[in-house]
Structure 1
Amino acid sequence: MAVFILVSGMFTGPHVWEDTAAQLTSAGAEVHTATLTGLGPGETRGAAPAGTDLETHIADVLAVIDSIGATGDQRDQGDQRDHGDQRDQEIVLVGHDYGIHPALGAADRRTERIARVVHLDSGRPQNGFPALAAVPDQSLREELTAHIGTYGADGELPSPARDEWQRWGSTSGIPDAALDRLTALAAPQPLRTLHQPLRLTGAAASLPVTGVLCHGNGASIEMVQMLVGFGDPALRALTEPGVTFFELPTGHWPMLSLPTELAQVLLRAAAGEGHRLVAPGSAELPAHLRPFLLDVPEVPRERTANVDLHLPDADGPRPAVVFVHGGPVPAEARPTPRDWPTLVGYARYAAGQGVVGVTLDHRLHDMADYKRAAADVASAVDLVRADPRVDADRVALWFFSGGGLIAADWLNRPPTWLRCLAATYPVLAPLPGQGPVDGRFRPAEAVASAGALPVVITRVGREMPGIAATVEQFLTASRNCGADVQVVDVPHGRHSFETLDRTAESREAVHRAMRSVLAHLEA
């Protein structure tokens, strides 16, 4: 049976693992929890010694690794012994949240002892980057940077109040009593632990890895597979044979919300089980490159810079629908989004109905790129409206997936020429664990300023849970402010249903959404 070392995240200590550790132990596993310096249960301000940093926490994890299978004499010898001679037991090292940083640092130095590293709802830290870079909320990162500027790297970050944990990750599923205890036992985080870059030699790069994704925090296997399918070289390592994935229907602290289920997943991960991703270039086409579900005829297409016009067989200035792709999409992805079958299919469909269908490439290559991508969309719209074949007073914008956040710019006091805004399986609020997004891109907040602008939302019933939550947040806000929102439901559809679910239900949903948008353009 496996030996587990559990490393907790920011502000927390071994107490968060109690229920999960008990489940693992009852299953016959050997379990150890790492107490990171200064983060023991209920530690008070100033408990961490001066100079406590990421290297201190790496040393804490190394001490636990070295204690496993060592005799008292060996423990006294410290790092001078032969680590490979301790025992044949190999360790599954689990890092949650910030805890993956000291866990990886330790794995890099004791590779021969580690059987697998488990990233529990955490990122993929890289050599030379501090934990601060992995904080998902941009405003929170800015606050931390300012805090370091005020108090210096030797300061501490106060632990969150009960209602502040949500800023650090979704608290979905945590019982009230567990959240109370989490708050009561939280400890201040030494700032040096967040500011000091992680140093890796690459020795642990070949270790088997498991990612445990939490739906409530905005992550899912389907989403990761979609990103891998775009061809990002940085994600190619996720398709290697030793990499597996699990997902849990909960928030960022599954050891508190689903301790039994988490223990079962960790046992399966230790056994080498889990979902494996499909590499780009395999026999199975990624979802975004599969054929569009409708048979739409080709129409004349003109390309100017990053914008394509799909032209109708009609005289005089015609209305236009601008289709805005999602992302992030790697800059190296080929074909680029304006040539993806779904976007081309929608544009041809629109042109076949007598309006100009527009596809474009924008530069949303990273979660920090929304400002740049929004500027690209605005420039494309200006180009389209200036074309003499377009009726500049009758334009619709149609957003997809992660491009949905850009819709906030157009919902906030929309121009009179914008006759309709549509969004299909959109992200309508920043996902908790997906990286920094500027505060301006929050459609669920901007809809209150949409006035009489008609909005058409295509909602899929088998949506990734984190994205589905943003749609419901948007619809709730819409009802509260009386916005004009129509929902086209695809009960059995998935994200990218136009290429994944070629059903009568899916085809009818596309027809309904298009009819609605065109009706608003003609009104």
Structure 2
Amino acid sequence: MHVFIMVAGAFTGTHVWQETAARLVAAGGTAHAVPLTGIDPDRPATASRVGLETHIEDVLAAIDAVDATSGRSIVLVGHDYGIHPVIGAADRRPERIARVVHLDSGMPQNGVPALAAVPDQVLRAQLVERAEAGEHEGVLAPPAREEWERWGSTDGVGEAELARLTALAVPQPLGTLVQPLRLSGAVAAVPVTGVLCARNGATIDLVQRLVDFGDPALAVLTQPQVTFFELPTGHWPMLSSPAALADVLLRAAAGEGHRLRPSGGEAPAPAHLRPFPIDVPGPVRDRRGPVDLYVPEGEGPRPAVVFVHGGPVPAGARPRPREWPALVGYARWAAAEGMVGVSLEHRLHDVADYDRAAADIAAGVERVRADPRVDADRIALWFFSGSGPLTADWLTQPPAWLRCLAASYPILAPLPAWGMAGTRFHPARAVRQAGSLPVVLLRAGQESPEIASTVETFVTAAGDCAARLELVDVPDGRHAFETVDPPEETLPAMRRAMRSVITHLTR
């Protein structure tokens, strides 16, 4: 028998767990939603300041209320902000906890306040300013009905549920977000399950890809006691899919779930390290700072195709993106066609790094244009996957020397969990200003629904403004199709796209 102790996210109280709790009880479990001090009406604040430590004490009280001799195991469930007091409490009672469930939440770290996990980047920056100014006793106003998307996707939440969520929302004490989490490290021994909400942008496949990049910091996610589940819904599954969530929690408590594959060793090569489907010897690499140039023999200057890798890619990933077979293969292929092929590396290590990555790309392109072997007036940019939002700058004000913009299986709008609604990285908006710039878009027919919807939004916007968009479909292609799908299914589209890009560069 399991006791599920559940902690809600920012602005919300025990009411969000009602349907899920009822299903857990019907299945034979015990469910207890923790009323948090200063948030839940059942636990009003008695002091001027409510901090993260206050909420950790609330969770500890719930743990201690479970009879240790009853034989019932405790499963702690933290949603959104709620994972911070959950982890803090588990660190102090590790022997009492059978499993911690991260419900569409991050991985809190010692010494880091919860505000670091606030998804909306603009709001997070404002909170940092308030904290640095010494404001620790105020509150953060709850979202209005139309503002919940700043905190996560509301996919699947009906109008009635969203109205109730808004009506019952309360201010979040600022101290709960700015007070650092203090951990002894004892929580590391507690088994963990991550429940990812795909419509919010988090999937098991995405986490596996991050692990495959080889960052040692993510190796902990491949340990045997760590499991994962995925729900096809938005950030509030207790409202949109309570039955499915209850089932997942019961299975997590039983130790079930998907386990990630460790990187390296005898594991199959991850997508980004598999061979490029075209064997192009190409010229020797010429490394110049963040760019690798592959320059054909003969007189120049020549047009250049600059290939921009996707991401985010952890800073500790090895090998580095410019050495991935696909990026090298594309650059050598362009050189074999008489162009200067360029692989450009940028520092998109986290979704908060798009500004920095954009600056890296702009500087790298100028370095390429300054090379005497390159025709500075004939440049094409080719983006992949998570670098798709970075196309927005080039679509908004395309310079005269940019003769073509291409993108392969791109993410063409920030995913909900990225918190980038207030940023400039929205290609569907930017394409309206692209003018006569040719855009070649390679679309994967078997793309994940979350990414595919961003592509369709872009295609619709491009059609509405009569942009020069050429769609190149790979009907059975998956994300990273050039290395994960059979060449006979992908090469025709890849060759068509390369021909189109070169035509735009040479006409």
Q: Into which bin does the TM-score normalised by the smaller protein fall?
A: over 0.9
Using a 3 Å threshold, how does the CA distance of structure 1 residues 447 and 495 change in structure 2: closer, same or farther? same
The answer as to whether partners of 1:48 and 1:190 remain within 8 angstroms in 2 is no
The answer as to whether partners of 2:233 and 2:240 remain within 8 angstroms in 1 is yes
Matching residue's letter, 1:4: F
State the Cα distance separating 1:372 from its structure 2 match: 2.7
Matching residue's letter, 2:310: G
Cα distance in 2 between the residues matched to 1:93 and 1:111: 11
Deviates more, 1:504-513 or 1:307-316: 307-316
Which residues in structure 2 correspond to 1:187-226 (within 5 Å)?
187-226=170-209
The yes-or-no answer on 1:15 pairing with 2:15 is yes
Residue aligned with 1:359, SS: strand
Q: 1:476 aligns with which of 452, 455, 460?
A: 460
Which residues in structure 2 correspond to 1:102-141 (within 5 Å)?
102-141=85-124
Q: Which residue of 1 aligns with 2:61?
A: 63
Deviates more, 1:108-117 or 1:33-42: 33-42
Using a 3 Å threshold, how does the CA distance of structure 1 residues 483 and 149 change in structure 2: closer, same or farther? same
Q: Which residue of 1 aligns with 2:347?
A: 363
Q: Normalising by structure 2, report the TM-score.
A: 0.95
Cα distance in 2 between the residues matched to 1:48 and 1:100: 23
Cα distance in 2 between the residues matched to 1:146 and 1:317: 49
Using a 3 Å threshold, how does the CA distance of structure 1 residues 150 and 477 change in structure 2: closer, same or farther? farther
Cα distance in 2 between the residues matched to 1:185 and 1:18: 14
Residue aligned with 1:362, SS: coil
Deviates more, 1:453-462 or 1:362-371: 362-371
Q: Which residue of 1 aligns with 2:159?
A: 176
The answer as to whether partners of 1:414 and 1:453 remain within 8 angstroms in 2 is yes
The yes-or-no answer on 1:507 pairing with 2:505 is no
Deviates more, 1:340-349 or 1:437-446: 437-446
State the Cα distance separating 1:342 from its structure 2 match: 0.5
Cα distance in 2 between the residues matched to 1:171 and 1:372: 29
The yes-or-no answer on 1:252 pairing with 2:250 is no
Residue aligned with 1:263, SS: helix
The answer as to whether partners of 1:220 and 1:464 remain within 8 angstroms in 2 is no
Q: Normalising by structure 1, report the TM-score.
A: 0.92
Cα distance in 2 between the residues matched to 1:285 and 1:143: 42
Matching residue's letter, 2:7: V
Which residues in structure 2 correspond to 1:485-500 (within 5 Å)?
485-500=469-484
The answer as to whether partners of 1:57 and 1:102 remain within 8 angstroms in 2 is yes
Cα distance in 2 between the residues matched to 1:429 and 1:217: 13
Residue aligned with 2:63, SS: helix
The answer as to whether partners of 2:282 and 2:333 remain within 8 angstroms in 1 is no
Cα distance in 2 between the residues matched to 1:398 and 1:11: 42
Deviates more, 1:48-57 or 1:268-277: 48-57
The answer as to whether partners of 2:282 and 2:335 remain within 8 angstroms in 1 is no
The yes-or-no answer on 1:336 pairing with 2:328 is no
State the Cα distance separating 1:313 from its structure 2 match: 4.5
The yes-or-no answer on 1:35 pairing with 2:35 is yes
Residue aligned with 1:117, SS: strand
Cα distance in 2 between the residues matched to 1:59 and 1:401: 43
Q: 2:146 aligns with which of 121, 140, 163?
A: 163
Cα distance in 2 between the residues matched to 1:126 and 1:25: 32
The answer as to whether partners of 1:425 and 1:496 remain within 8 angstroms in 2 is yes
> 1:425-467: CA deviations, max 9, x gaps?
2122222224669823332322222111111122223323333
Cα distance in 2 between the residues matched to 1:324 and 1:111: 45
Q: How many residues matched?
A: 506
Matching residue's letter, 1:200: L
Residue aligned with 2:417, SS: coil
State the Cα distance separating 1:139 from its structure 2 match: 0.5
Matching residue's letter, 1:167: R
Residue aligned with 1:399, SS: strand
State the Cα distance separating 1:390 from its structure 2 match: 1.9
Cα distance in 2 between the residues matched to 1:340 and 1:207: 36
Which residues in structure 2 correspond to 1:396-435 (within 5 Å)?
396-434=380-418
Using a 3 Å threshold, how does the CA distance of structure 1 residues 319 and 108 change in structure 2: closer, same or farther? same
Cα distance in 2 between the residues matched to 1:244 and 1:408: 37
Using a 3 Å threshold, how does the CA distance of structure 1 residues 151 and 337 change in structure 2: closer, same or farther? closer
Deviates more, 1:403-412 or 1:55-64: 403-412
Unmatched runs of 5 consecutive residues or more in structure 1: 70-84
Cα distance in 2 between the residues matched to 1:193 and 1:260: 30
Cα distance in 1 between the residues matched to 2:29 and 2:477: 40
State the Cα distance separating 1:160 from its structure 2 match: 1.2
State the Cα distance separating 1:164 from its structure 2 match: 0.8
State the Cα distance separating 1:366 from its structure 2 match: 2.8
Matching residue's letter, 1:175: G
Q: Which residue of 2 aligns with 1:72?
A: none
State the Cα distance separating 1:273 from its structure 2 match: 1.1
Q: Which residue of 2 aligns with 1:78?
A: none
Residue aligned with 1:246, SS: strand
Unmatched runs of 5 consecutive residues or more in structure 2: none
Residue aligned with 2:407, SS: strand
The yes-or-no answer on 1:93 pairing with 2:76 is yes
Q: Which residue of 2 aligns with 1:82?
A: none
Cα distance in 2 between the residues matched to 1:366 and 1:157: 25
Q: Which residue of 2 aligns with 1:281?
A: 264
Q: Which residue of 2 aligns with 1:52?
A: 50
Residue aligned with 1:433, SS: helix
Matching residue's letter, 1:251: G
State the Cα distance separating 1:118 from its structure 2 match: 0.5
Cα distance in 2 between the residues matched to 1:30 and 1:91: 9
Cα distance in 2 between the residues matched to 1:151 and 1:229: 41
Matching residue's letter, 1:494: R
State the Cα distance separating 1:57 from its structure 2 match: 0.8
State the Cα distance separating 1:60 from its structure 2 match: 1.0
Q: Which residue of 1 aligns with 2:224?
A: 241
State the Cα distance separating 1:388 from its structure 2 match: 2.7
State the Cα distance separating 1:103 from its structure 2 match: 0.6
Cα distance in 2 between the residues matched to 1:181 and 1:453: 46
Q: Which residue of 2 aligns with 1:74?
A: none
The yes-or-no answer on 1:323 pairing with 2:321 is no
